[in-house]
């Protein structure tokens, strides 16, 4: 049982307007760590542009691409340039432009508390209820629709830590994930599925992806939490898209 790739890793580029860092290590160090652990592929997925504390700066994207090409040559690891974008509205908007998407190989989207809302209306309607961790039926319904709309609007490859800070109807999201060929994550830090959620998702044919969510080079490839969860809840290995295989991505032409 071998994980081919880790598609959720951060580096020093996860920093905001005050140069606040909550990830350590460089792109090269992440790649070197991946090589040491026998991985074949990784994605660098810094926090999205609207994250007020840890968001990657648009001006650094071209520089990151150059560093990725250099790290590929030095390590032999295939490296995707990605971003962990943020949901910013109940209409499924995320903090990516068409020009951003053209520069990326891989797109993750998740909910993060410190991301800016699209506007003040969406702050009170969408972001604030989730920041307050409300789980009312209308919150779940609104969030579920937001994710479905996002999957229709953007070439999203992966929903990061589904349900974390943003309660959803997993079955409804799962149906749309299958329809749009979007993976759901088995995150290395937080997994919100319950046993009954897993059964429903598997019955729908949902594909999972086990990632580290590494914020340091030494944690790249550390996907034990996701794999242990899969074993506990009888998720078949073939339902984990990066286990003994390479996932198929919407923007990446390398596989």
Confidence band, pLDDT 50/70/90 cuts, at residue 253: confident
pLDDT grade for 14, boundaries at 50, 70 and 90: confident
Query: What is the spatial distance between Cα 109 and Cα 86, in angstroms, rounded to a whole number?
Result: 6
pLDDT band at residue 21 under the 50/70/90 scheme: low
* More confidently predicted of 227 and 20: 227
Q: Is the pLDDT of residue 16 over 60?
A: no
Write out pLDDT tens, residues 153-187.
Answer: 999 999 999 999 999 999 999 999 999 999 999 99
pLDDT at 115: 93
> CB within 8 A of 126, min separation 6: which ones?
87, 88, 89, 90, 117, 142, 146
* pLDDT given at position 195: 96
pLDDT tens by residue, 60-111: 999 999 999 999 999 999 999 999 999 999 999 999 999 999 999 999 999 9
Whether residue 18 has pLDDT greater than 70: no
Quick check: 255 pLDDT over 70?
Answer: no
Distances (CA, A) of 229 to 88, 101, 115, 166, 201: 29, 32, 29, 20, 14
Residue extents of the structural domains in the chain? 5-239
Which of 1 and 128 is assigned the larger pLDDT?
A: 128
Other C-beta atoms closer than 10 Å to the C-beta of 91 total: 15
Across the range 3-24, mean pLDDT stands at 82
Kindly tell me the sign of the dihedral angle through the C-alpha atoms of 218, 59, 110, 148.
negative
The reported pLDDT for the residue numbered 70 is: 98
Looking at the domain covering 5-239, what would its CATH class be? alpha beta
Question: What's the pLDDT at 88?
Answer: 97
Contact 179, 150 (CB under 8 A): no
Residue range 25-44: average pLDDT? 97
Q: Model-level pTM?
A: 0.95
How would you write 89-144 as a 3-class SS string? CCCCCECCCHHHHHCCCEEEEECCCCECCCCHHHHHHHHHHHHCCCCCHHHHHHHH
């Amino acid at each position: 049982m071998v994980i081919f790739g880790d598609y959720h890793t951060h580096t020093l580029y996860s920093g905001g307007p005050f140069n606040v860092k909550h990830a350590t290590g460089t792109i090269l160090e992440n790649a070197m760590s991946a090589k040491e652990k026998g991985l074949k592929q990784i994605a660098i997925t810094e926090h999205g542009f609207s994250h007020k504390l840890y968001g990657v700066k648009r001006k650094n994207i071209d520089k990151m691409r150059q560093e990725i090409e250099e790290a590929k040559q030095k390590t032999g690891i295939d490296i995707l340039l990605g971003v962990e974008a943020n949901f910013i509205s109940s209409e499924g908007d995320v903090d990516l432009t068409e020009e951003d998407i053209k520069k990326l190989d891989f797109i993750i989207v998740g909910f993060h508390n410190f991301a800016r809302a699209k506007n003040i209306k969406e702050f009170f309607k969408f972001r604030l209820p989730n920041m307050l961790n409300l789980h009312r039926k209308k919150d779940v319904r609104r969030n579920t629709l937001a994710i479905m709309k996002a999957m229709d609007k953007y070439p999203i490859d992966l929903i990061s830590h589904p349900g974390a800070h943003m309660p959803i109807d997993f079955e409804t999201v799962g149906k749309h994930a299958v329809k749009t060929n979007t993976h759901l994550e088995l995150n290395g830090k937080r997994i919100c599925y319950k046993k009954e959620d897993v059964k429903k998702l598997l019955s729908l044919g949902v594909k999972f992806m086990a990632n580290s969510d590494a914020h340091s080079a030494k944690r790249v490839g550390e996907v034990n939490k996701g794999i242990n969860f899969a074993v506990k809840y009888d998720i078949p290995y073939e339902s984990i898209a990066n286990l003994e295989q390479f996932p198929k991505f919407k923007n990446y032409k390398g596989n």
